[in-house]
Structure 1
Amino acid sequence: MSLYARQLNINDLERSLAVETAAFPPAEAATREKVIEYRLTVCPEICIGLFLRAGASLPSPIPHDIPFVEDSTPSDDVLLAHVISTKTTNKPVKDEDMDYPRNWKEDPQGDYAVGHNKNGRTIALHALAVAPDYQRVGLGKAIMRVYIQRTKSLNAADRISILTYDRLVPYYQRLGFEHYGKSESEYAGVAWHDLVSDINNKSRKTNANWDVVLHTIFASLHTFHQGIFGEDQATNDKLDRDIFPKWIPTMCVESSHLKDGLG
């Protein structure tokens, strides 16, 4: 296939920098040392590129399933788009996640107060960039599909979080991200918006299982009080409305709270 994705590395620095600076205005583009060199050095495993093989034409339409290759690829293949990220222990992206340690080159895999946190389970997606000559043909959506699927398959994180501009909120919502509203982040003086995509299937399955448990409890209690009070609808309605809702919260944590770590 002419299109493929692979993990980026420091050897892709110049190509990634070219895509980044071409895709964004100077005030918005990542700097060489901060975003590109730092992140491709300390956490290349969560940075990927979408490539077109040298001499090949861009397929139309863009295929839904683009292969991810693990091996090195020819240096003359064309980088069309990239996703560059770090990890964090925060759920929405914070200012410290956007930053980088100035002395990181002394110990690239060290623990710092800002930047990449290797123990985090949230991927802070900093850059989704598509080269201008290849924009508006679906490559942004294509690389995000690959990125999300790879993150899931590696169990690399529980969620992907993004800070973005107001105008891009609908775009990321179409990719499955949930809009959390205006961000507390004031990084670079921008009015950011928080978006999060929960990719941990286990968490969603757990929540779904609790919904089944609660439904079963209500059904059993309803059958029980019908056996006592018969078909007296007024009494049944009162129990359903006034009594059971007070019992259930004492028996288990409400399923909607599980995702917040309360259960």
Structure 2
Amino acid sequence: MSLYARQLNINDLERSLAVETAAFPPAEAATRQKIEYRLTVCPEICIGLFLRAGASLPSPIPHDIPFVEESTSSDDVLLAHVISTKTTNKPVRDEDMDYPRNWKEDPQGDYAVGHKKNGRTIALHALAVAPDYQRAGLGKAIMRVYIERTKSLNSADRISILTYDRLVPYYQRLGFEHYGKSESAYAGVAWHDLVSGIKSRKTNSNWDIVLHTIFVCVRDPYNGDVRCVA
């Protein structure tokens, strides 16, 4: 398949930085230092969507994109990325958006800001798609892969994001619940908190994963029946 997803690592720094800075305004894009920090201390919760070298973007985008352990070529194109840390908060807060300036002294240390390795919330900092590939369904595609990847790791109870008011419906369609306006003042933007709960329970030898989804219920004005859709 021409498209695949894999875990990012520090060798992807330059490509991830290029996607991030092209996708977001300067005040909102993560800096090189933040991306370097996140790809070093918690690469297991950062993934990229790649197009194999020389291949054309398929249309439509396939629903089941494979997750691979290693890249087959350094010439493959990074189309989109999801970069995250973990937090002990439920909604994302400003301290989660920051990073410790002295983290290189002890990359796995416990700091007041940034990644909390024992946290059960994934703070999703960036869902970024390279501008040349936007409006092709790649954002939804990488989020489907990311949610499934998060389930398989069984290392978090929820994914939490900050987003613009206009993108709230987009994330609701992906299963996120809207918690209203955020307390975060990051980059001076009026953010909104959204959370998708992911809980795992073990039944015999299989993992049974429950993903909370928003349902909308409407009463039929003619017969009084109530219809609910996800």
- Normalising by structure 1, we get a TM-score of 0.75
Structure 1 distance, partners of 2:206, 2:188, is 43
Q: Which residue of 2 aligns with 1:237?
A: none
The Cα of 1:73 is off from its aligned counterpart by 2.8
Unmatched 5+ residue regions in structure 2?
221-225
Q: Which runs of 5+ in 1 are unaligned?
A: 219-240, 243-249, 254-262
Cα distance 1:252–1:120, how it changes in 2: closer, same or farther (>3 A)? farther
Alpha-carbon contact 2:175-2:212 (below 8 Å) kept: no
Once the two structures are superposed, residues 147-194 of structure 1 have per-residue CA deviations (whole angstroms, 9 ceiling, x without a partner) of 000110111211000011111111111111000001112222221110
Higher strand proportion, which one?
2
CA distance in 2, matches of 1:205, 1:156: 14
Distance 1:53 1:72, change over 3 A: closer
What residue is the counterpart of 1:61 in the other structure? 60
In 2 relative to 1, CA 146–41 (structure 1 residues): closer, same or farther, beyond 3 Å?
same
Evaluate the alpha carbon distance shift between residue 252 and residue 196 of structure 1 in structure 2; reply closer, same or farther with a 3 A threshold.
closer
Task: Report which of the two has the higher share of helix.
Answer: 1
Q: Is the 8 A contact 2:100 2:113 kept in 1?
A: yes
Instruction: Render the CA deviation track for 1:82-140: whole Å, top value 9, x for unaligned.
Output: 00000001111111111110111111111101000000010000000000010001000
SS of the equivalent of 2:25 reads coil
C-alpha separation between the residues in 2 aligned to 1:25 and 1:216?
Answer: 31
Moved more, 61-70 or 90-99: 90-99
Residue 251 of structure 1: how far off its partner (Å): 32
Larger radius of gyration: 1
1:39 aligns with 2:15: no
Q: Structure 1 residue runs of 4+, over 4 Å off?
A: 202-218, 250-253
Q: For the residues of structure 2 that align with 1:214 and 1:20, how far apart are their CA atoms?
A: 28
**Helix, strand or coil at the partner of 1:211:** strand
1:251 aligned residue (217, 227, 230): 227
- Contact 2:202–2:208 under 8 Å retained in 1: no
The offset of 1:4, in angstroms, is 0.1
Give % identity.
93
CA contact (8 A) 2:163 2:192 kept: yes
| RMSD of aligned residue pairs (Cα, Å) | 6.8
SS at match of 1:205: strand
Mark the CA change 1:71 to 1:209 in structure 2 (over 3 Å): closer, same or farther. closer
Contact 2:52 2:76 in 1 (8 A): yes
* CA 206–33 in structure 1, closer or farther in 2 if over 3 Å, else same: same
User: 1:1-263 maps to which residues of 2 (within 5 A)?
Assistant: 1-34=1-34, 36-199=35-198, 202=199
TM-score of the superposition, structure 2-length normalised? 0.86
Paired residue secondary structure (1:37): helix
Q: Give the Cα–Cα distance (whole angstroms) in 2 for the partners of residues 214 and 2 of structure 1.
A: 29
Per the TM alignment, residue 24 of structure 1 is displaced from its structure 2 partner at its CA by 1.2
